[in-house]
Amino acid sequence: MTTRFPDLTDLLPTLAAAVPTALLIGAGAIFLHFALRRGLRVLTRRTSFTEADIAPVQRFLKWVIVIAALVLILGAFGLNVGGFWGVISTILAMVAIGFVAVWSVLSNTLCTVIIMLYRPFSVGDEVEFVGEQVKGVVADLNFVYTTLDAGDGSVMQVPNNLFFQRVIRRRRGEATAAAVVPLRPKPPESDAPAPVPAT
């Protein structure tokens, strides 16, 4: 019994028709990768996060984009990737279960994003939990903790989700106050004496 392989001339039209789609998928993946990387760099410039803090997120998003692009390109060339999608779905389900298991970490991460968006406090501000012994100047903010300088040589690392469960008192630091531009600035004071009304 002989095995008959498909003629290459029969495959060429299908492959040629799939090339533009594959190129579009590749270009879209590259554009998405650079857009996300640029967005993360803007995030590091506007917050206290460093390149080292953002690097794990950037690597994770890069691999997600690469895997998704490869699967879509293989599908464009007519290869059956249904089984591969099943493996990916299983992995994602396991990751979801892991997230539930470490819900505290996920909660702190989500609260960090909200803090970055709404800016209830900034690095350099003094914050205090009303009625509790938690008080200090915000020294750093990452995806899990906010570090407070207690002023006595010690620091406090406060989980970010606690800021949404407590009443906090905030005093602006010098850097934050200098960054606030008043809508109607006061006119400069003049050294000239005030005019004396005529009698």
Residue 31 predicted with pLDDT over 90: yes
First to last CA, the chain: 125
Q: What CATH architecture applies to the domain 121-178?
A: Roll (2.30)
Whether 81 contacts 75, CB under 8 Å: yes
181: confidence class by pLDDT, cuts 50, 70, 90? very low
Put the strands of the sheet holding 126-129 in their side by side order: 155-159, 145-149, 135-141, 126-129, 168-171
User: What are the domain boundaries of the chain?
Assistant: 11-101, 121-178
Which pLDDT value is given to residue 185? 44
Question: Average pLDDT of 47-63?
Answer: 75
Residue type, 114: I
What distance in Å separates the CA atoms of residue 121 and residue 141, rounded to the nearest whole number? 10
pLDDT band of 127, cuts 50, 70, 90: very high
> Would you say residue 128 has pLDDT above 60?
yes
Calpha distance 88→21 (Å, rounded): 22
Question: Stretch 138-165: mean pLDDT, rounded?
Answer: 88
Tell me: pLDDT of 177 over 80. no
Is the confidence at residue 188, as pLDDT, over 70?
A: no
| Residue 126 pLDDT grade (very low, low, confident, very high; cuts 50, 70, 90) | very high
Sign of CA pseudo-dihedral 168, 174, 176, 182: positive
Residue 107: predicted pLDDT:
79
Q: Higher confidence at residue 169 or residue 91?
A: 169
Which residue did the predictor score with more confidence, 188 or 71?
A: 71
The whole model's pTM is what? 0.42
pLDDT for 136: 92
What's residue 106's pLDDT?
74
DSSP the chain: -PPPPPPHHHHHHHHHHHHHHHHHHHHHHHHHHHHHHHHHHHHHHHSS--HHHHHHHHHHHHHHHHHHHHHHHHHHTT---HHHHHHHHHHHHHHHHHHHHTHHHHHHHHHHHHHHHH-SS-TT-EEEETTSS-EEEEEEE-SSEEEEE-SSS-EEEEEGGGGGTS-EEEE--HHHHHHPPPSSPPPPPP-SPPPPPP-
Answer for the pair 169, 128: CB distance below 8 angstroms, yes or no: yes
